[in-house]
Every structure is written in structure tokens, then in C-alpha cells.
Amino acid sequence: GRFGQVHKCTEISTGLNLAAKIIKVKGAKEREEVKNEINVMNQLNHVNLIQLYDAFEAKNNITLIMEYLDGGELFDRITDESCNLTELDAILFTKQICEGVQYLHQHYILHLDLKPENVLCVNRTGNQIKIIDFGLARRYKPREKLKVNFGTPEFLAPEVVNYDFVSYPTDMWSVGVITYMLLSGLSPFLGETDAETMNYVVNCSWDFDAEAFEQLSEEAKDFISRLLVKEK
């Protein structure tokens, strides 16, 4: 994880494998951020969202005990040449991501850091996934004027780059980017530098790579086109 080390551990009484994420905290602000992550995760109960079992607070760190997934990051499946993801694979992954995000949004939570590194496969062979890392998630009240300035440039929506108000479509933009990557192996906004990437994002400057999308259905392209649109 970005903010902590993750270790595999076993619950002695049950033999259950779990993941322990140990997050170093320096000062009250960082502690509050981790507590926010715990509060968000305590509200989650969905097959496509990682489950928090317990949390322990110590002087210099907080440990989150979560379900253990050993299938690796979705990112690795995208970059692994031998995986040969089909359009059907992409549909199965995207559907689960959408169902997880729908649950979050129904519970007034924005993830705000959706990217293939934050989607884990449950096991090495199957297509079941779970969304992880709620370190940047925010509770959201409809019509609230919420602004954020963090995340990974490739997956950021224009309103994040521009420091405008964020809402549910902010997450859906990232779902569009992930879907594009699942179908093509390419990143739609990636430039030579972060600044160039963010410039492409702000201008909503992307297209379908002719070769990569040649064999793909119009429905797949239409799905992406409806997500990668700038909020008016």
C-alpha cells in the first residue's frame, strides 16, 4: 500500500488468513486521516469492496486487519502479456468495479483514488475483484461543495486537476480510464510528464487507439465515451 506496509497474517483461533496494513502516523492530522479511512471502511459490506475486520491503534502506527486477497493487482493483469484479456474479461471486471462504486455512492462515499492498482483480484485464476485503499475516500453530502487535490494524474478527472467541485462523476471518470486500459492495455491520457498528462485530462484530449480498438465492439467504445466527458 502507498501509506503502509501490508503483511499476511493468520487468526490463530480460526486459521483464517488476513492482511495487516501497518500505517505509520506522525501527528494528529495523519492519525485523523487513518481514522477517516477506518470510519469509511466500517460502513462497507459488499462483495466487491475489501472488508475491514479490525483496527489497532498504537503510539506511532495504526494497524488495519483486512481480508486477504492473493490474486494480485488488476494492473498486473493489464500489463502481463500472457494474460491476453478479452473483451469479456474486461466486461466482467468493469461490471464488478461499477457495482462496488454504486454501493459506495449509494452510501454517500466517494473513493477518489480509483485505478488498476487499487483493484485486487481475489485469486490468481478467477475474475472476481475487490476495490481497496480507502485512504483518500470522502463522505459526500449531495450538493456539498467538496474539492480535493490528490491522486494519480493518469486517472484524475478534470475537476480534480482544476481544483473544481468533485462528485459522483469524478469516480466514474476513473472507471472510464480503467475500462479503456482493460480493453486496450493503453492509458488514454498518459503524457511524457505529469504536467502533460494533466493537460490532456483538463482538455479531455483522448481518442481510441486505432489498432488496439480495431476488434472491439461499438458498445465498449460507447461505454467509455459516455464516461470520459467533462462535467459542464
Enzyme catalytic residues: 113
Determine the residue type at 54.
D
Determine the residue type at 158.
P
In the beta sheet, which residues pair with residue 69? none
- In sequence order, what are the residues at sequence separation of 6 or more whose Cβ sits closer than 8 angstroms to the Cβ of residue 106? none
Q: What distance in Å separates the CA atoms of residue 105 and residue 99, rounded to the nearest whole number?
A: 10
Other CB atoms within a 10 A radius of the CB of residue 145 amount to 9
The phi-psi region of residue 221 (left if phi > 0; otherwise alpha if psi is between -120 and 50; otherwise beta) is alpha
Q: What distance in Å separates the CA atoms of residue 99 and residue 102, rounded to the nearest whole number?
A: 5
Q: What distance in Å separates the CA atoms of residue 143 and residue 157, rounded to the nearest whole number?
A: 18
Q: What distance in Å separates the CA atoms of residue 12 and residue 37, rounded to the nearest whole number?
A: 26
Q: What distance in Å separates the CA atoms of residue 109 and residue 40, rounded to the nearest whole number?
A: 8
